[in-house]
Amino acid sequence: MNEPMPGQALDDLETPVLLLDLDRFESNVQHMAAYCRDNGKEWRPHSKAHKSPAIAHIELANGACGITCAKLTEAEWMVAHGVPSILLANQIVSPVKFAALARLQHQAEVIAAVDNIAVVEPMAAAAIAEGVRIPVVVEIDIGMKRVGVEPGPPLLTLSKAISDQPGLAFRGLMGYEGHVLDCWPLSAKQKACYQALDILVESRNLLEDNGIPVEIVTAGGTGSYELSALHDGVTELQAGGGVFMDVMYRRKCHVETLTPALTVLTSVTSRAADRVVVDAGFKTLSSGHQPPEVLGRDDLRLRGLSAEHGVFDIVEGQAGPTLGERIELLVGYSDSTTFLHNYFVAVRKGRVEKIWDISARGLLR
């Protein structure tokens, strides 16, 4: 079957296919970069949604100081494709990964996140064996109750242990206010967000009062970036999914300053009096975090997704689409959709402009 090609008309694409509207995507990138810059923050967008070196380089070209990766293999791939600075946001614990992280320092700055003193000595030993210093931030639990050292004395003990190791370079602190993303109304969200970020500032003050300089205070997801960027103590934001701006961020997190850019183009493959079925199920897009929405029409309501079928009820009194008609779906949650695909088909004004491989998909270690 023919694969998408630059210059191809949108109407000629075989479905289902993952589309990225370039005008909207570029606008989102520029907005997020400018918002961080205008509020005195660095932008280090998370790459877990796009898993694409091409998109990482677009973010860097628009002012990002680096990117954030979820896994070490993702970081290795991004370094191999010329990304110079990476924050590894998930903890690693194995000797093999410590050695790989140390080797990466010869090619790029790859900052590790640590929340347990047990990894300090073996990570430092791997760095010394490789003749490098591994930069480290300490992750603090600022309210999400997922990972992170407790603030106060446990944080101070861990930070001192890192600072005392010749193979490690203490760089600062990390926290994630993920538990506040869907708080509402805005006043409640702001209060919860700032309470969480205040823990990072208090922790920075504690370390500096004890002679440990703190260069980086990193936090911020797309669902809270507009508030987190205004917090004086934060130095950089990791918000990355906003470049795609999916339904979840708009509906659950109330982010209204970005434009949905990521869609799945489908075709109606079965038609009944009260429903249609499209050729995209949960192997093409996800509905777990937030169901997809039909773009540009109000006559369909999602009934559900099975493996290869998306079933939509036709709103009573509406004609609904015909067999073979194209239906474009706004992605419910980009993180759980993009990794199902091999590439983004980047389109502008009804034509394919670029094909960007999602080449870090499957890199999970």
Confidence of residue 288 (pLDDT cuts 50, 70, 90): confident
pLDDT at residue 345 above 90?
yes
Clarify whether residues 182 and 39 are in a common domain.
yes
Q: What is the pLDDT of residues 25-44, one digit of tens each?
A: 999 999 999 999 999 999 99
Please name the amino acid found at residue 101. L
Clarify whether residues 215 and 321 are in a common domain.
no
Clarify whether residues 223 and 352 are in a common domain.
no
Q: What is the pLDDT of residue 289?
A: 87
CATH of the domain at 318: 2.40.37.20
Reading the block at residue 313, the tokens are 């009820």
Strands (DSSP E) contained in 250-348 are 262-271, 275-278, 293-294, 300-305, 310-314, 326-330, 343-348
Is residue 191 situated within a structural domain?
A: yes
318's CB contacts (< 8 A; 6+ apart) are 299
Q: Which of the listed residues 174, 209, 244 is the one where a domain comes to its end?
A: 244
Q: Which of the listed residues 201, 219, 244 is the one where a domain comes to its end?
A: 244
Is residue 346 situated within a structural domain?
A: yes
The mean per-residue pLDDT over the stretch 47-62 comes to 98
CATH of the domain at 93: 3.20.20.10
Clarify whether residues 14 and 30 are in a common domain.
no
Confidence of residue 287 (pLDDT cuts 50, 70, 90): confident
Handedness of CA 244, 194, 39, 171 (dihedral sign): negative
Clarify whether residues 94 and 169 are in a common domain.
yes
Query: What rounded mean pLDDT belongs to the chain?
Result: 97
Q: What are phi and psi of 209, to 5 degrees?
A: -65, -20
Clarify whether residues 14 and 40 are in a common domain.
no
Clarify whether residues 46 and 122 are in a common domain.
yes
Is residue 294 situated within a structural domain?
A: yes
Is residue 121 situated within a structural domain?
A: yes
Q: What is the pLDDT of residue 98?
A: 98
Strands (DSSP E) contained in 198-306 are 216-219, 236-237, 262-271, 275-278, 293-294, 300-305
Clarify whether residues 110 and 210 are in a common domain.
yes
Reading the block at residue 72, the tokens are 């070490």
Confidence of residue 129 (pLDDT cuts 50, 70, 90): very high
Is residue 116 situated within a structural domain?
A: yes
Residues in the chain: 365
d(CA 165, CA 319): 69
Domain span at 352 = 10-18+257-357
Q: What is the pLDDT of residue 5?
A: 95
Structural domain total, the chain:
2
Q: What is the pLDDT of residue 17?
A: 98
306's CB contacts (< 8 A; 6+ apart) are 281, 282
pLDDT at residue 1 above 80?
no
d(CA 213, CA 96): 30
Quick check: bond before 321 cis, omega within 30?
A: no
Clarify whether residues 204 and 309 are in a common domain.
no
Is residue 312 situated within a structural domain?
A: yes
Q: Which of the listed residues 196, 219, 244 is the one where a domain comes to its end?
A: 244
Confirm whether pTM is higher than 0.75: yes
Q: What is the pLDDT of residues 157-206, one digit of tens each?
A: 999 999 999 999 999 999 999 999 999 999 999 999 999 999 999 999 99
Q: What is the pLDDT of residue 292?
A: 96
Name the nearest CA neighbour of 217 among 198, 206, 201, 194.
Answer: 201
Confidence of residue 48 (pLDDT cuts 50, 70, 90): very high
Is residue 5 situated within a structural domain?
A: no
Is residue 252 situated within a structural domain?
A: no
Clarify whether residues 147 and 290 are in a common domain.
no
Clarify whether residues 172 and 235 are in a common domain.
yes
d(CA 64, CA 113): 19
d(CA 77, CA 34): 27
Clarify whether residues 138 and 286 are in a common domain.
no
